[in-house]
Amino acid sequence: MSLPVVLDISGVIATLTLNRPDKLNALTHEMGDMVVEAVRTINAIPDIRALVVKGAGRAFSAGGDLDWLLDNARRTEAENREGMEAFYKKFLSLRDLNVPTIAMIHGRATGAGFCFALGCDLRVASHDAIFSANFVRVGLNPGMGGSYALTRMLGPGLASELVLTGREVFADEALTLGLVSRMVTPEELEATTFALAGQIAANAPLAVRHAKASLRLAQTETLDRVLAREAHGQAVCFASQDLIEGVEAARSRRAPAFQGR
């Protein structure tokens, strides 16, 4: 029996695959537990420099499993409040990764599946990708950080439109809005995504990890807090061998060979 989430590590790039193609990779608590474990595994391996997140089959993820949603309707309000917060935290543990994450999106990224993709640092979409925060269309308010992520990415007006209508956003509009950074043909999706991961992985690992931490902090904190975080990161990097290698490589006009120390 195949696992519903598969972690593969190949060199410095890891791949996390949502693997319930018969259910369009609808998300479950079991899958969330496996995402948490994958985050722990990746953070414990210093050689990993980037993670690609993708879905098996015809879609990235169709959101919450419909049978599970109906099961929740039979639970008490208190049970659902506790259960949903736990559900969110499992999948959004992806935000706790030390290394950058790239969502490779094809087909549908719906509801919680859309929010899971928004939890990544970058998103690359194929022409057939369709995004929707469709919570209200199935009788739910948004969850899993959808209100947070969309408001910060799009501003309150556009975020409100997408959430309150639950409408579909096709790949070309997603690119225009900045929900994705690149849009390519389905045939180019994998190569483009892994090329981007490789470009990130070729940079100094310590610098990239600290840069990611500063960018995450910038989403919620004041300029003074971000400046302090940047100064901390630069202080660590100044003490690294990678900085010396980077400067020497720039002077010699050659590609640097960063070691992450």
In this structure, the answer to whether residues 227 and 192 fall within a common structural domain is no
The predicted model scores a pTM of 0.94
In this structure, the answer to whether residues 70 and 130 fall within a common structural domain is yes
In this structure, the answer to whether residues 224 and 121 fall within a common structural domain is no
In this structure, the answer to whether residues 104 and 178 fall within a common structural domain is yes
Provide the β-strand partners of residue 51.
14, 101
In this structure, the answer to whether residues 115 and 234 fall within a common structural domain is no
Task: For residue 133, give the CATH number of its domain.
Answer: 3.90.226.10
β-bridge pairing 182-184 and 130-132: unpaired
Tell me, what's the pLDDT at 172? 97
In this structure, the answer to whether residues 104 and 180 fall within a common structural domain is yes
Tell me, what's the pLDDT at 249? 87
Q: Which residues contact 48 (CB under 8 A, 6 or more apart)?
A: 9, 12, 13, 14, 42, 99
Flag residues of the chain having pLDDT under 70. Answer: 1
Spatial separation of the C-alpha atoms in residues 142 and 157, rounded to whole Å: 16
Q: Which two tokens stand for residue 230?
A: 């940047």
In this structure, the answer to whether residues 149 and 237 fall within a common structural domain is no
Tell me, what's the pLDDT at 245? 87
Tell me, what's the pLDDT at 73? 81
- Spatial contact of 123 and 179, defined as CB atoms under 8 Å apart: yes
In this structure, the answer to whether residues 153 and 25 fall within a common structural domain is yes
In this structure, the answer to whether residues 148 and 226 fall within a common structural domain is no
Tell me, what's the pLDDT at 1? 63
Q: Is residue 258 part of a domain?
A: no
Q: Is residue 257 part of a domain?
A: no
Q: Is residue 220 part of a domain?
A: yes
Q: Is residue 259 part of a domain?
A: no
For residue 54, the enclosing domain spans 5-201
Spatial separation of the C-alpha atoms in residues 53 and 117, rounded to whole Å: 8
Ordered strands of the 13-18 beta sheet: 5-10, 13-18, 50-55, 101-105, 122-126, 182-184
Q: Spell out the SS3 assignment of 172-217.
A: HHHHHHCCCCEEECCCCHHHHHHHHHHHHHCCCHHHHHHHHHHHHH
Q: For the segment 200-237, what is each residue's pLDDT rounded down to a tens digit?
A: 999 999 999 999 999 999 988 899 999 999 999 999 99
**Number of domains present in the structure of the chain:** 2
CA angle centred on 18, ends 105 and 46, rounded to 5°: 90
65: left (phi over 0), alpha (psi -120 to 50) or beta: beta
Tell me, what's the pLDDT at 80? 84
Domain boundary among 201, 220, 244: 201
In this structure, the answer to whether residues 144 and 162 fall within a common structural domain is yes
